[in-house]
Structure 1
């Protein structure tokens, strides 16, 4: 397929760089502990045989161990693997150091997750030689300021979607440019599900239309892709494959704040689950005020050891008052006492920016929100153990900070055990 046609002119201009840290959590552990270097490492969330790896070093990946591999399977696949308990504060601090190291070379455009970020190339760095030089400078800056074992793969392309694709293809520790000259060789042979954003369901729909490889997507017209995606999303894919604007750069609105935790076996009682739910709600309330939003709906779910589930929902007037939300929790909480709980999740949704909420005319309501602000300032200074709802006492040390794929916790928001 000829990419020299005018419709592919957008693939000639380099505009984006995507940086993806290689096995970030495991690499942080190898950088911290020389005894782990060169050895297969699995990072686990809790010290129990019933958990799975949340990260694996490249030495472990060589044996087939990956994120989500249960510990028992990992041991069978890789007898010499070392398991390390995740230290999320360390990973967040290391990421902040990495951002500082990268900023010495070029401004960070967007942070997408704990181990992914992108840079918008300025006119001076859009030529091939200059872009490659910038990528190498960033790699060297990371080695200098973080250490030899924090490595990344750099993808460079006309837009962020293609730059991320380049970083996926360049792993590990690579540097790859995708443009009109390299896309036919590097991208065309890929199965469509190797492209970011195409999952199993969409993959089946594309195959039903004989769109099996990336080359098929490039050959397809905009109308064919609109039909495949059943809407405007097909036009966006048509554009971004040709170096146009990124679909995922569209503005987004936060929909919810949520926290969940798999319970320690010693807490797996009805009262322990309730205490954990209040602990999770307390964390969600702090985050809600930190992002300056009010919530209008609460969802609580409990998963039991026997596989059963319970959930409860409640709607309420817009609030971010911890005491009000604790009362909502109390009237919603009603899981069966007969089953042994394993996991609790609390979700605050129906979010409204606080600036859009009219203050209450009743002094008592405003007093409760002011009190919540005071509690936040106390916990920021002295930690969650300083003051908390009595009902969560049994679980005050449960649910320590975790790093979600799309959310990097703020270290200025206090948390237990770290």
Structure 2
């Protein structure tokens, strides 16, 4: 069976961008963090830092203990990450059309008919790696996986890191997967691993030996069937998931860790969530707000309401909910959920709501054209010191 898919994963992407931009960071242990605080976690770690056991999600205080000479880079903007992402996509497109972008550092391409032989596909993968090195930067290494479907191509890319190039063809399956731990597979986290263990499955070899029905039982539904088929090289076209919520959270800098500062940041987060929701074409029928104190205790509150999408009404709802008990709140968040498409919402009979909706949409247009927060609610002005330009792990925003 011929190879059909190419998967590209940029190695330690965010840390590599920082090392590419700043030659003094090259060859040194680097971690990218959202704020300079030992209580937050590392967003990314360079391979020099990974040798000390530091990885994405490692607590910064623990990372400093593991590597006292670790260099921390605070993300004040993610525009340069978007620029590198776009440059990488352009390089890949010059070699092979990108079928789908999975995240800021991952993409998948369907191979042409004349590229499906193993030697041709491997040569193409090497060409893409070389072109990224030459045109984007010598610090921008990537792993390329080639296989029968996107899932196995991603798994192939995980087999050799960093800077890998691996093909998994039909004759490699399933025995070449056996050296992987269950959690090495995309989609199996610790909780899913526990479900496999509860079913008596502790190795990849055992997982691959499960029947389709056994796999369904472990996963609790049709996802198990998808996995069973994909492990055997089939291409599975999954149905598009319906969006259920839009949410934002923020760990606040020390100067905003007061009730008033938290309220301002919460307003800013709601503005962002509401704008995103309108851009996606939804109304919300529920809202949740939460806060976490410096002692890691948590508070949350929820309510449901008639379909709503204008910022003013949502702000009034949030203000009725947000009465957390913390004198020093550390993190706040807001979620708009139970979303319904605009086309399914009957127009309001009240002129005031219609005016609020039109004004919200007008503000969205101005902010998209002239920059985020060009027009904003007065209640969120104090939050301007918060770093609101977040790293886009998923959808890549356009540079404006």
Determine if the TM-score, normalized by the shorter chain, exceeds 0.5: yes
Contact 2:146 2:156 in 1 (8 A): yes
2:369 & 2:174 partners in 1: Cα distance?
56
Partner of 2:26: 37
After TM superposition, the structure 1 stretch with the greater mean CA deviation from structure 2, 309-318 or 280-289, is 309-318
2:329 & 2:216 partners in 1: Cα distance?
45
1:410 & 1:31 partners in 2: Cα distance?
22
1:375 maps to 2:363: yes
1:408 & 1:397 partners in 2: Cα distance?
24
Shift of 1:361: 3.1
Contact 1:160 1:246 in 2 (8 A): no
Q: 1:226 aligns with which of 200, 216, 226?
A: 216
Partner of 1:175: 165
Shift of 1:217: 2.5
Secondary structure of the residue that 2:159 maps to in structure 1? helix
Shift of 1:135: 0.8
Distance 1:270 1:146, change over 3 A: same
Partner of 1:297: 286
CA deviations 1:362-390 (Å, max 9, x no partner) are: 33322211111221222234434532211
Q: How many residues align?
A: 399
CA deviations 1:77-132 (Å, max 9, x no partner) are: 22332221224221112111111111111111111111111111222221112211
TM-score under structure 2 length normalisation: 0.93
Partner of 1:7: none
What is the 5 A alignment of 1:40-59?
A: 40-59=29-48
Contact 1:226 1:235 in 2 (8 A): yes
After TM superposition, the structure 1 stretch with the greater mean CA deviation from structure 2, 228-237 or 142-151, is 228-237
List 4+ stretches of structure 1 deviating above 4 A. none
After TM superposition, the structure 1 stretch with the greater mean CA deviation from structure 2, 236-245 or 225-234, is 225-234
What is the 5 A alignment of 1:176-191?
A: 176-191=166-181
Secondary structure of the residue that 1:204 maps to in structure 2? helix
Shift of 1:184: 4.7
Secondary structure of the residue that 1:42 maps to in structure 2? strand
Shift of 1:404: 4.9
1:13 & 1:216 partners in 2: Cα distance?
26
1:92 & 1:377 partners in 2: Cα distance?
21
1:368 & 1:144 partners in 2: Cα distance?
51
Across the aligned residues of Structure 1 and Structure 2, the Cα RMSD in angstroms comes to 2.0
Contact 1:192 1:212 in 2 (8 A): yes
Shift of 1:230: 3.8
Gaps of 5+ in 2: none
2:392 & 2:370 partners in 1: Cα distance?
25
Q: 1:158 aligns with which of 141, 148, 151?
A: 148
CA deviations 1:334-382 (Å, max 9, x no partner) are: 222x532111101111112222222223333222111112212222344
2:199 & 2:360 partners in 1: Cα distance?
55
Partner of 2:6: 17
TM-score under structure 1 length normalisation: 0.89
Distance 1:68 1:363, change over 3 A: same
